[in-house]
């Protein structure tokens, strides 16, 4: 059902896509499904700068980050062991414990179909 989420989508965007494919699904159901799948760990969630949730279908194989094309939404997963190391080091230097980190990279991908 959420095979559509190959990149980062808002609930509304996913809803629109599904309806265009002919599914008669309602927005509320999309939200509920998204919620359930997120709880099960099948989806990652990030916050857009406009305050909306963005859902992404990621392999649940541990912490990673995302490189997202700002035009087409194409997403690449990044396993940033180096970053995680650096993050916990910096945090410890400042006396912080139980540190979680969140990184998002946004740019323009080389093969962006929406470039023209």
39 binds its own copies, rule: CB under 8 A: no
- Selection from DNA, its own copies, none that 32 binds (CB < 5 to 8 A by kind) is DNA
CA torsion 71→77→78→84, rounded to 10°? 110
Residues in the chain: 116
| Sole window of 50-58, 63-71, 74-82, 105-113 interacting with DNA (rule: CB under 7 A) | 50-58
**Pick from 1, 36, 76, 81: which binds its own copies (CB under 8 A)?**
76
The answer to whether 114 and 72 are in contact (CB under 8 A) is yes
Nearest-Å Rg of the Cα atoms of the chain is: 16
46 binds DNA, rule: CB under 7 A: no
């Amino acid at each position: 059902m959420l095979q559509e989420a190959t990149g980062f989508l808002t609930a509304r965007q996913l809803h629109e896509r599904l309806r265009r494919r002919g599914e008669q699904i309602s927005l509320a159901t999309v939200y509920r499904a998204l919620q359930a799948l997120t709880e099960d760990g099948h989806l990652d969630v990030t916050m857009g700068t406009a305050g909306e949730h963005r859902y992404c279908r990621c392999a649940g194989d541990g912490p990673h980050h995302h490189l997202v094309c700002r035009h087409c939404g194409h997403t690449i997963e990044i396993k940033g062991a180096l970053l995680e190391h650096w993050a916990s080091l910096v945090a410890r230097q400042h006396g912080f414990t139980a540190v979680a980190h969140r990184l998002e990279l946004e740019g323009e991908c080389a093969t962006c179909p929406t470039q023209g």
